[in-house]
Structure 1
Amino acid sequence: MAAADVNLNRLAVFVALVRAGSFTAAAGQLGTTKAMVSQHLAKLEEELGVALMVRSTRRMALTDAGERFHEDCARILADADDAITRLGECRDTPMGVLRVTAASDHGTTVVAPALAEFAERYPQVRVELVVTDTVSDLIAERFDLAIRIGWLRDSSLRAARLAAFRECLVASPSYLEKHGTPSVPGDLAAHRWVAVTVLASPTRWTFTDGHGDEHSVQTRVIASANSATVACRFVLEGLGISVLPDYVVDADVAAGRLVALLPGFTLPEGGIHAVYPGRQPPVKVRAFIDLLKERLA
């Protein structure tokens, strides 16, 4: 006889019957009828080929085989309950490895500190951050999620918008002292430009004035970098003007190391998104998205 020949659901009925002490009490606990409990026991004995209980009109008693089998069944059901509990903990509590990819600038300034807080908050999670300025294949490279900046491409991946960021036109005081301060977007064509090459259009920018009118300008590149952080370093050194995200330049603007230009004009806002594969993200991914929203609010 193999385990496959036995209906394992009958084990729970058998254990409930022994614990309840009668067919009537067992039926009440299981939400079924006394006849159904008796039928399950008879079928179980038939499948096992051994009598488990001696029954009379007034009492029932376990056989020797039934006593041994009950101990094993009770242990099996307890193990099953423990397994279900552990599975529930996996479902409800972040654990395991959280593997994240992000652009180098945002990954360093925003995602890394958030992951550090996440690891402190959920000690059962080991965090891993991969910074890259190329778009990673989340499924092939086994990432749980990516933090992407700017405007999302069409994708089969799911995305949660975390926040927005401002694009800031900035220059250093030393550059402005030497080359003058632009007063309208058209002036930028004559200035030295530091381009961020990972952008879709790193040299052409469209500004909107207070009346909603658009002003486009083609810039003259003197230096370029594939990282906003590196481009910011060029600007800080007085090499030229650039458009950089607020999370890269805000501290330098507040400290006076950079000057925000063209205050009467705006550039389109960019989005910060958490992108993940699958329809329903696991609990560790949902928890990290919630934490990022808290920090970016």
Structure 2
Amino acid sequence: MIDQLRTMAIFQAVAELGSFRQAAKTLNLSPSVISHHVSTLEDQLGTPLLYRSTRRMSLTDAGAELLAASQRMTAAALDGLSAVQRRAKQPTGTLTIAAATPFSQSPYAEAFTRFAQTFPDVHLKVQLDDTTVPLEGSTVDVAIRGRTHDLDDSSYKVRKLGKVQFCVFAAPSYVHARPKPQSMEDLADWDWIQSPPISWSAFATLADGTAPSRSPRVVATCNNFALARKFVEEGLGFMIETYPLVADDFRAGRLVQLVPRVKLRPIDVYAIYPANSPKDGLAHLFVDFMMGQPWAEEHSFGVR
């Protein structure tokens, strides 16, 4: 079968080029070898495929029919080879990313979308959670986090993507019923919706490293951003979160930013992935893509 396919390809070259000599030159074979293959094919089929003369060569009806079949065969083979080559060059597979739920409403989500559009053959699985999911023993390829101190440095690689800025906000109805705060110290007499359940000093530390001496009263603790935000909208108290999540609400008047001139300490955001991830694998591809975003490393979003 393989020999017949090879002979058909040689016959096709002769028919398309119109010359045994030209086919021999193109295929890097001797004219006698070319002639032998065509004659063998004619013997096998029991019919002439070419009219030969000293001046010209033309196809018989059988030759024309075989040429069309051979061209279809060659085209199908080339299409198959091209498809495999494209697949080899285009990244494929499943990439699992873990991030905190608020990232779904941040520029990171936009970057996830751009990655999926750029690499359509990659199945992107994004796991959003309101709590930090342990990476040890998980199937997560890349985690987007704001802290790294709980990781074994020898097992994971860490690359800084950028920074996000915290801000303080509340519902207009809650704010208007109280004296306008001028500093974080003034918020000690206000009601705090604690989400996520992290200490006041971790949230309220200023960019210069100082922290308020007093903490506000915690009226609710919640590890879900959507529910905590609902508490705020209903006027239960104020909340601290990253600026990109509520910037549109400030502009629309749905929420009010408190102490806008106070610059809280931003948090660094990292991409974390196993140290043994293949350099040509999807984890490296994704992290490199994220590093290429406008806000990566030295750039920050929500930091004004």
Question: TM-score normalised by the shorter chain: which range applies?
Answer: 0.5 to 0.7
Aligned to 1:289: 287
Residue 143 of structure 2 contacts residue 272 of structure 2 at CA under 8 Å; is this kept in 1? yes
Task: Say whether residues 1:96 and 2:93 are aligned partners.
Answer: yes
Contact map agreement 1:170 1:260 (CA 8 A) in 2: yes
Confirm whether residue 260 of structure 1 aligns to residue 249 of structure 2. Answer: no
- Separation (CA, whole Å) in 2 of partners of 1:259 and 1:104: 22
Give 1:140 shift.
Answer: 1.9
Structure-2 separation of matches of 1:172 and 1:239: 9
Kindly tell me: are residues 268 and 182 of structure 1, through their superposed partners in 2, closer, same or farther at Cα, counting changes over 3 Å?
same
Q: Secondary structure at the match of 1:218?
A: coil
Change (3 A) 1:181 1:150: farther
Change in 2 beyond 3 A, CA 1:158/1:209 = closer
State the Cα distance separating 1:135 from its structure 2 match: 3.0
1:24-173 equivalences under 5 Å are: 93-107=90-104, 109-138=106-135, 140-150=137-147, 152-156=149-153, 157-173=156-172
**Deviations for 1:206-243, whole angstroms, at most 9, x for unmatched residues?**
44388x76533311011221023432232223221121
SS where residue 216 of structure 1 aligns?
coil
| Partner AA of 2:273 in structure 1 | Y
Aligned partner of 1:180 in structure 2 is 179
Which residue identity lines up with residue 290 of structure 2 in the other structure?
Answer: L
Give the match for residue 247 of structure 1.
Answer: 244
Distance 1:198 1:192, change over 3 A: closer
Secondary structure of residue in 1 paired with 2:145: strand
* Deviations, residues 46-74 of structure 1 (Å, cap 9, x unaligned): xxxxxxxxxxxxxxxxxxxxxxxxxxxxx
The CA deviation at 1:184 is: 2.4
Give the match for residue 12 of structure 2.
none
Tell me the secondary structure at the aligned position of residue 179 of structure 1: coil
Q: CA RMSD in A?
A: 3.1
Distance 2:136 2:147 in 1: 21
- Residue 232 (structure 1) aligns with: 229
**AA paired with 1:284?**
L
Instruction: Give the Cα separation in 2 of the matches to 1:20 and 1:287.
Output: 42
Query: For the Cα contact (< 8 Å) 1:100–1:143, is it kept in 2?
Result: yes
Q: How far does residue 127 in structure 1 lie from its aligned partner after superposition?
A: 1.0
Opposite residue 159 of structure 2, the aligned amino acid is A
SS of 1:142's equivalent in the other structure is coil
Please list every run of 5 or more consecutive structure 1 residues that lacks an aligned counterpart in the other structure: 1-18, 22-81
TM-score (normalizing by structure 2): 0.60
Distance 1:219 1:128, change over 3 A: same
Tell me, in whole angstroms, the C-alpha distance in 1 between the residues paired with 2:191 and 2:254. 18
Give 1:272 deviation, angstroms: 1.5
Q: Give me the whole-angstrom Cα distance separating, in 2, the residues matched to 1:209 and 1:110.
A: 22
TM-score between both structures, scaled by the size of structure 1: 0.61
1:282, CA displacement in angstroms? 4.0
1:142 offset after TM fit, Å? 1.4
Q: Distance in 1 between matches of 2:213 and 2:268?
A: 21
* CA 113–188 in structure 1, closer or farther in 2 if over 3 Å, else same: same
1:220–1:138 Cα change, 3 Å: same
- Post-superposition shift, 1:261? 1.7
Amino acid at match of 1:208: L
How far apart are 1:141 and its partner, in Å? Answer: 1.9
